[in-house]
Amino acid sequence: MTEVNSFRANQSERRAALRKRAADARLAQRRAKAWADEVNTTLASARLPWRTASTWIEQGTGCWCAEFTHLSSGKTISVRLDVSFDSDTARRDELLRLLVV
């Protein structure tokens, strides 16, 4: 009887951990989508010749990352912003600084 209770307790713990991982993944996806929207808005408002190829937030470090493609040359660059750029304004200013040629 104790083996069954132990199995159910372990199964319950595994389900709780799975739910937590799923919730964390959904949160990360929402943050990455918001980051992509922020980057696209910044590029469009500044009329820069760059477009986003992909955007993501690193899970381990929390760094804001993006890959850009130049419209005329096809050149690609990757940008990685540290977590010190925690505000929208700081990230936008740093992106503009890096992408203005």
Contacts for 28 with CB less than 8 Å, ≥ 6 apart: 57, 59
Enter the pTM of the model: 0.68
User: Within a 10 A sphere around the Cβ of 15, how many other Cβ atoms?
Assistant: 10
Q: What is the pLDDT of residue 17?
A: 92
pLDDT digits over 8-55, tens only?
778 888 999 999 999 988 998 898 888 888 888 888 888 888 888 888
Nearest to 31 by CA among 8, 70, 62, 73: 62
Domain range annotation of the chain: 2-99
